[in-house]
Amino acid sequence: MQRYIIRRLIQGGIILFVLSITVFLLLRIAPGADPAIIKCGLSCTDEKLAALRDDLGLDNPYFPVDADLTNPPFVSFHRESQYWRWVRGLFDGSLGRDWNGAPVANELKARLPVTVELLIITFLVTVAIGVPFGIISAVNRNSPSDYGARFGAILGLAVPSFWVATLVILIPIQYWDYAPPLTKTIAFMDSPWDNLRQFVPPAIVLGAASAAGVMRLTRSSMLEVMRQDYIRTARSKGLRERLVIGRHALKNSIIPVVTVIGLQLVGLLGGAVIIESVFNLQGVGFYFLSALVRKDYQVVQTLTIYIGVAVVLMNLAVDVLYAWLDPRIRYT
């Protein structure tokens, strides 16, 4: 297992390196105005624009190594290249400064608790809805409850989350004159009730599609397990149906569900970008979207790499957990 983990970490490092090169180049070749021009504004002068480009390091070469086959020694090194400047900030923890001049590390430290709380509540919503309804649907196959759960799952997968988020805000305002707090992000320790009023609606919207996918997978996995011989043996012994479902069927059918839930937890980061913007939650997702609109290279590159790290580590954790849940699985 240790050799497998080390090999996976090495593979993850290679993936992150390729990801860093890819996102670095895509941001710079993407169409749109130069970030220095965007920051300079309408009353921009050539002197001010040149100073901004120098401050942002946009005049520096892209990579630390530059090949020129016409002039010896044919290879030159640039210590202040844009890529090396960014990577150096990743390793020393400074992360540079964003478009407004604020340290990126401080901004992430302030915004990360908001996104983490949203993801935790979303994860609880996903598990609390997806797993129980999947079990109910499988146990009561081809019954009205099964049809209702399957219809709800298809609806949750089909409806766009941003559209549901908009309705969650507009309908209560229109008919009941109620809206969750939208002016500022409220910490849980400051006001637990207002904090939950602010975070639970976006968590439900964000977790609806994930819960639908978990529900469908739980149902299909349960149906497959319940056709096995050991389930019939447990019933023939006279065990209560609750014990047969909970102790035998659920324990073995939950393994693929755990895998999907772990992967969906990382995938929720992408959904948080839109949901945080709709509900005005000042988290990492809102920060990422704002930086992407104004082409803030430093922020977009850094957050993309951090999301990549989370994906690599979560995939590894899911594989290890999979082997722990099913002793028959061995990694070499």
- Which H helix or E strand runs over 261? helix 250-278
More confidently predicted of 53 and 222: 222
Q: Which of 68-72, 190-194, 315-319 has the lowest mean pLDDT?
A: 68-72
Q: Is 60 exceeded by the pLDDT of residue 198?
A: yes
Helix (H, G, I), strand (E, B) or coil at 193: helix
> Span 126-133, mean pLDDT?
88
- pLDDT category at 331 given cuts 50, 70, 90 is low
Question: 253-304 pLDDT, tens per residue?
Answer: 777 787 778 777 777 777 788 888 888 888 888 888 888 887 888 888 888 8
Q: Which of 15-24, 182-191, 281-290 has the lowest mean pLDDT?
A: 182-191
Q: What is the pLDDT of residue 74?
A: 46
DSSP letter string over 9-42? HHHHHHHHHHHHHHHHHHHHHSSS--HHHHHH-T
> Span 178-200, mean pLDDT?
78
Q: Is 80 exceeded by the pLDDT of residue 154?
A: yes
Share of the chain above pLDDT 90, in %: 1
Per the structure block, which two tokens stand in for 208?
């609806």
Q: Is 50 exceeded by the pLDDT of residue 69?
A: no
Per the structure block, which two tokens stand in for 169?
């805000």
Q: Does the N-terminal peptide bond of residue 73 adopt cis geometry, omega within 30 degrees of 0?
A: yes
> Span 152-167, mean pLDDT?
83
Question: 167-184 pLDDT, tens per residue?
Answer: 888 888 887 877 777 777
Question: Rounded to whole angstroms, how far apart are CA atoms 217 and 240?
Answer: 25
Q: Is 80 exceeded by the pLDDT of residue 24?
A: yes
Asked if residue 89 lies in contact with residue 301, where contact means CB atoms within 8 angstroms, the answer is no
Q: What is the pLDDT of residue 53?
A: 75
> Span 301-315, mean pLDDT?
86
Q: Is 70 exceeded by the pLDDT of residue 102?
A: yes
Q: Which of 168, 170, 193 is nearest to 275 (CA)?
A: 168
Q: What is the pLDDT of residue 163?
A: 84
Q: Which of 127-136, 153-162, 244-253 has the lowest mean pLDDT?
A: 244-253
For the chain, give the mean pLDDT: 79
Q: Is 80 exceeded by the pLDDT of residue 250?
A: no
More confidently predicted of 303 and 41: 303
**Location of each CATH 1.10.3720.10 domain in the chain:** 104-325
59 backbone dihedrals φ, ψ, rounded to 5°: -85, -10
65 backbone dihedrals φ, ψ, rounded to 5°: -115, 130
Asked if residue 141 lies in contact with residue 148, where contact means CB atoms within 8 angstroms, the answer is no
CATH topology of domain 104-325: MetI-like fold (1.10.3720)
Asked if residue 332 lies in contact with residue 3, where contact means CB atoms within 8 angstroms, the answer is yes
More confidently predicted of 67 and 62: 62
- Find tokens 């480009």 and name the residue: 53
Q: What is the pLDDT of residue 52?
A: 72
Q: Which of 7-21, 76-90, 93-107, 200-214 has the lowest mean pLDDT?
A: 76-90
